[in-house]
């Protein structure tokens, strides 16, 4: 069982196709590990074991009948609990949707199934994915497999914790302000936010449409490329999906990065970064010099878009639930109780200012990529912080300095506003044994270079053999 549960999706798919292992054996191994480990983590909130076993038997029958197999045939996957899954409860982490069972799959789920993946269940998140921790009033907090007293980040923390702990080789996430990359960094796995619109999202609750990206959480870069190939591509049902067909994301992984020009910003001009994290990131950035890149530390002066993100998210979630606001007020996650009064203070000028700031941000980032192929930053300003029901949403102090609750997220949300591909790669551990993530940002629409650089870093500083102690 242990060998199966720590294998990559690519390894499992190859072994299944070669008939070295059966799909039922693979699914059973993961179900056993989930039964053993998930009670400690609370990462998976809805498990569809019987359905997964039945799907595994059907998948094995196709092999025996020599059917043509998809790239993920027989490989387990977990789906974040704000993504539609036909016949499987989808709660958004909110009591408003506690018993909601969709009658259709989201596009990305249908595509994963078409590639042969076996859905094991749904993963935990913050209520409506609104904060970068993983806790809600239905299921409670998810714990970090590296230290059960710490948060896995969020809002895709259930997916990240599950993949890190060997409960599935693959999981989906979505990212409107860092919700793929931040938990990937905290949990020591790979998380990719593709270009905006690369993976269509439909059906969905119309919240954060202008900044939300769907993407994979995996233990290897190659697995993320496999997932991206399965999920990417246009669909008219999502008016924001990119028109271009998906690329061959696997072929670029061995090309290397020698000759690329790489910019490194340790603070984006405004972020306060934990001193230990900064030392780890500094060393990680230098790896790209070893790989043959030109690496320059650059000075940036970017507008801090945190207030803009809050205004967008809070306004949209209130409109999305406006017919049930009084009901929600009674059932809301306690940390959200101030949302109602805050939204009432937002003005039309606030909304207009977001567009001006977004344009300013874009042009400052665009000019960086006129001279460089990639931008490196910390994924987050800190390693995982203390968890628990009801918060906190961030450390109150960094380097002895009092900070706002979302300060630690400062490297993530700018690239939701610009729509660029960005990934978090594991790059080291703190003295306390907590993972640290390096963020790799590419030009718009250029996932290939981000994946190529991620794979080169993975080869230079392998992380897959580091398993959490759960």
Q: Are 123 and 319 in contact (CB under 8 A)?
A: no
Marked catalytic residue, from 7, 179, 241, 308: 179
| Given the residues 155, 168, 195, 308, the one annotated as active site | 155
Set 7, 80, 94, 195: catalytic member: 80
Q: How many CB atoms lie within 10 A of CB 130?
A: 27
Residue 250 CA to chain centroid, in angstroms? 19
Task: Report the C-alpha gap between 152 and 252 in whole angstroms.
Answer: 30
Pairing label, strands 76-80, 118-123: parallel
Dihedral sign for Cα atoms in the order 213, 381, 142, 191: positive
Contacts of 287 (CB under 8 A, 6+ apart): 427, 457, 460, 461
Biggest CA–CA distance in the chain, Å, is 64
CA–CA distances in Å: residue 155 to residues 142, 152, 176, 451: 10, 9, 9, 23
80 is catalytic: yes
Residues 6+ apart with CB under 8 A from 300: 265, 268, 269, 364, 368
155 given a catalytic annotation? yes
By C-alpha distance, which of 429, 409, 425, 413 is closest to 376?
A: 425
> Which of helix, strand or coil describes residue 153?
coil
Of 218, 181, 174, the C-alpha closest to 196 is 174
414 exposed, middle or buried (CB, 10 Å; 0-12, 13-18, 19+)?
Answer: buried
* Nearest one of 110, 112, 91, 111 to 101, comparing CA atoms: 91
**Does 65 participate in catalysis according to the annotation?**
no
- Judge contact between 444 and 430, C-beta under 8 A: no
Q: Which residues are catalytic?
A: 80, 155, 179
């Amino acid at each position: 069982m242990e060998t199966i549960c720590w294998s990559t999706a690519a390894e499992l798919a190859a072994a299944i196709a070669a008939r070295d292992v059966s799909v039922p054996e693979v699914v059973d191994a993961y179900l056993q590990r989930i039964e053993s480990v998930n009670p400690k983590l609370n990462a998976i909130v809805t498990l569809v074991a019987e359905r997964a076993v039945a799907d595994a038997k059907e998948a094995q029958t196709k092999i025996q009948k020599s059917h043509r197999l998809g790239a993920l045939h027989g490989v387990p996957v977990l789906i974040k609990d704000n993504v539609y899954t036909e016949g499987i409860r989808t709660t958004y982490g909110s009591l408003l949707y506690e018993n909601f069972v969709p009658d259709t799959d989201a596009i990305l789920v249908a595509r994963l199934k078409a590639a042969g993946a076996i859905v094991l269940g749904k993963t935990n998140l913050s209520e409506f994915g609104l904060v970068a921790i993983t806790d809600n009033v239905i299921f409670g907090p998810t714990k970090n497999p590296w230290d059960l007293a710490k948060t896995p980040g969020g809002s895709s923390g259930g997916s990240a914790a599950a993949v890190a702990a060997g409960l599935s080789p693959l999981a989906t996430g979505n990212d409107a302000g860092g919700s793929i990359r931040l938990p990937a960094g905290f949990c020591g796995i790979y998380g990719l936010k593709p270009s905006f619109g690369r993976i269509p999202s439909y059906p969905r609750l119309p919240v954060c449409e202008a900044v939300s990206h769907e993407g994979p959480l995996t233990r290897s870069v190659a697995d993320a490329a496999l997932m991206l190939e399965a999920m990417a591509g246009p669909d008219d049902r999502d008016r924001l999906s990119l028109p271009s067909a998906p690329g061959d994301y696997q072929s670029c992984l061995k090309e290397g990065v020698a000759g690329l020009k790489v910019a490194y910003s340790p603070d984006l001009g405004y972020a306060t970064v934990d001193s230990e994290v900064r030392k780890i990131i500094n060393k990680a950035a230098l790896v790209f010099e070893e790989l043959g890149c030109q690496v320059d530390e650059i000075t940036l002066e970017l507008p801090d878009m945190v207030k803009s993100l809050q205004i967008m998210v809070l306004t949209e979630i209130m409109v999305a639930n406006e017919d049930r606001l009084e009901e929600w007020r009674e059932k809301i996650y306690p940390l959200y109780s101030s949302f109602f009064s805050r939204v009432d203070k937002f003005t039309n000028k606030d909304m207009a200012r977001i567009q001006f700031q977004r344009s300013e941000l874009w042009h400052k980032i665009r000019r960086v990529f006129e001279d460089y192929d990639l931008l490196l930053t910390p994924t987050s300003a800190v390693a995982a912080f203390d968890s628990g029901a009801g918060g906190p949403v961030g450390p109150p102090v960094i380097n002895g300095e009092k900070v706002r609750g979302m300060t630690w997220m400062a490297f993530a949300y700018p690239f939701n506003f610009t729509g660029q591909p960005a990934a978090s790669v594991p790059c080291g551990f703190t003295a306390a044994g907590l993972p640290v993530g390096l963020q790799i940002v590419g030009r718009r629409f250029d996932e290939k270079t981000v994946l190529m650089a991620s794979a080169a870093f993975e080869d230079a500083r392998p992380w897959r053999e580091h398993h959490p102690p759960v």
